[in-house]
Amino acid sequence: MAGKLYGVGIGPGDPKLLTLKAKEVLESADIIAVPVKAPGEESTALSIVQPAVDLTGKEIMPVVFTMEHSISRREACRKQAAGQLMEKLDLGKNVAMIVLGDISVYSTFHLAFKYIREKGYTTENIPGISAFSGGAALAQISLVEGNQNMMVLSSLKGTESLETALKVCDNLVVMKAGSSMAQIKEILKEQGLEDKTIVLSNIGMADEYIGPPEGDREYGYFTTLIIKKGGL
């Protein structure tokens, strides 16, 4: 009998924000699958889980999801990752793949999950606290109120989508914003939104930053902006 595949959202960075369900699933799984960008890479997700979950005796299985620009290379890598996971499932092993934040928001898990689900394997998704939900709580601001609307977008598709969204949305969450911060800051300045924006960078990690956009600060991949046109 084939094993079961779990996709487990582990939250934004603080091990204490791991859900009880996530802890239960991880401690009962035979194998913990850990997404990495390259072989031998250290896993941020695994470092978050380790203080909160007893992983004694479990196989830790790195699964490579390349970030190369080649679409064909990325797709081939995802299929290979799915194949590796299915090999373990065929051995009757229960496998839990951990991902930062929530399992349904820009989740690496779903890049392989679609290939596995279509083969008929038993699967389950375990939600986690998203980076923007956890960050908003730390910043003590609301994401959306009353009859306001909100949009979540990625800055990796360029800043044109941000300018379009600002025309129609009351509140915006911009994820993966690190590489586009200079351009985003210009847009915020032009539209008078700098004081209505909060930056959430590396939430739950040692170099966590929560505050206004700063031009001289270096921002990494795990950077999210919350823009509230009505004010923070």
Structure confidence by residue, pLDDT tens digits, 101-114: 999 998 988 888 88
Residue 10: per-residue pLDDT: 96
End-of-domain residue from the set 126, 143, 178: 126
177 plus 110 within the same structural domain: no
> Mean of the per-residue pLDDT values for the chain?
90
Q: Is the predicted pLDDT of residue 4 greater than 90, yes or no?
A: yes
11 plus 73 within the same structural domain: yes
End-of-domain residue from the set 102, 126, 150: 126
120 plus 175 within the same structural domain: no
Which residue range is the domain that position 97 belongs to? Answer: 4-126
Residue 6: per-residue pLDDT: 97
Cα dihedral 23, 28, 32, 33 in deg (nearest 10) = -90
What's 191's domain CATH number? 3.30.950.10
Residue 91: per-residue pLDDT: 95
Q: Is the predicted pLDDT of residue 74 greater than 80, yes or no?
A: no
| Confidence band for 81, pLDDT divided at 50, 70 and 90 | confident
SS (H, E, C) 119-148: CCCEEEEECCCCHHHHHHHHHCCCCCCCCC
Residue 73: per-residue pLDDT: 83
8 plus 122 within the same structural domain: yes
Q: Is the predicted pLDDT of residue 82 greater than 90, yes or no?
A: no
Do the Cβ atoms of 32 and 46 come closer than 8 Å? yes
110 plus 160 within the same structural domain: no
Residue 85: per-residue pLDDT: 94
103 plus 12 within the same structural domain: yes
Predicted model pTM: 0.88
- Top-confidence residue, 156 or 71: 71
Mean pLDDT for the stretch of residues 68-86: 83
Mean pLDDT for the stretch of residues 57-65: 92
Spatial distance between the Cα atoms of 54 and 56, rounded to a whole number of angstroms: 6
Spatial distance between the Cα atoms of 223 and 204, rounded to a whole number of angstroms: 12
Cα dihedral 136, 137, 139, 145 in deg (nearest 10) = 60
206 plus 104 within the same structural domain: no
| Confidence band for 156, pLDDT divided at 50, 70 and 90 | low
104 plus 86 within the same structural domain: yes
DSSP run (H or E) holding 167: helix 160-168
